[in-house]
Structure 1
């Protein structure tokens, strides 16, 4: 199964802001970046996107520029839920909450949020659904760094605690075979 993983482009959030599942916009101008992304994609694809607008804007652009077999938005592709930390500066998160999470982000939840293993489980469910459909066409997945790192961990069996070895830049396209 040929999959093109695309991380959304830069957001309007200042650097250092934890925005996880907050529905923030992307920074403009983005047309040139979108066109560069399109140039790396197949001419025909199934498009699946996170429902957060920073991904949907890009996914709709892809839909308008490649022959689209189908388009859908999937809740399981949302970024990690950072709960009480959403839209806070990382430096403002109390150390007694942040430090344990930084030491074991895989298993420890963000305050009223989720852990990376919980994100990884929903990504695993998403991947299982793809396999059950026996899809033959290329798939374009527009998502977030956490989701893409999780998919790459599923693909390579990389331990979750090593997920950040997978560098995922804004607007990056990563082609994989699952």
Structure 2
């Protein structure tokens, strides 16, 4: 069975990202620097031989895909299963305002990290992996750019890497760079981390 190759990219930085405010499944505008970075990145992504863009349906991911697509000019598919983790009662709050003991307890739960009223990292991983496997069936033999969120990228890759998702683990990759996942026969595996993009065509 032909494999599908996914290139995972986090959306451009937003105003809330810069202000260290929790977005979850809410949105804020892309920051000017984020927009500029996405525009600079697009020509290099063109060297990956992409056939489609698959993106979260949240505004910041769609806006990033739109900027990239000014250069890439690819068909775009939205999938709500690629949304960021739902942060429940913490959504819209600044990280500095979350009580330290509550945050430490949540992070110590690893895959079961669940903001009050939100969803767990394990749930994010499950829905995102289902989205990728479904997309692989529709794009066998092709390469697809996936524009999504930090929580989604970490959940999928940390699961494939066998990580416990605990705060004392060293970073496995740079979430600001492109990560490659391969799907063959309905099974996902890590292709390459922190991809060095080809020179602009």
Normalization by structure 2: what TM-score?
0.76
CA distance in 2, matches of 1:155, 1:121: 12
RMSD value over aligned CA atoms? 2.3
Partner of 2:102: 97
Partner of 1:38: 42
Please say if residues 21 and 78 of structure 1, whose CA atoms lie closer than 8 Å, have aligned partners that are also in contact: yes
SS at match of 1:72: strand
Gaps of 5+ in 2: 184-201
CA distance in 2, matches of 1:48, 1:121: 17
1:78-128 C-alpha deviation (Å, 9 max, x unpaired): 111111101111222234532320211421410100111111111121122
Partner of 2:195: none
Gaps of 5+ in 1: none
* TM-superposed deviation, 1:51: 1.1
Q: Name the count of aligned residue pairs.
A: 175
SS at match of 2:54: strand
Please say if residues 51 and 78 of structure 1, whose CA atoms lie closer than 8 Å, have aligned partners that are also in contact: yes
Find the partner of 1:63 among 69, 75, 78.
69
Structure 1 stretches of 4+ moved >6 Å: none
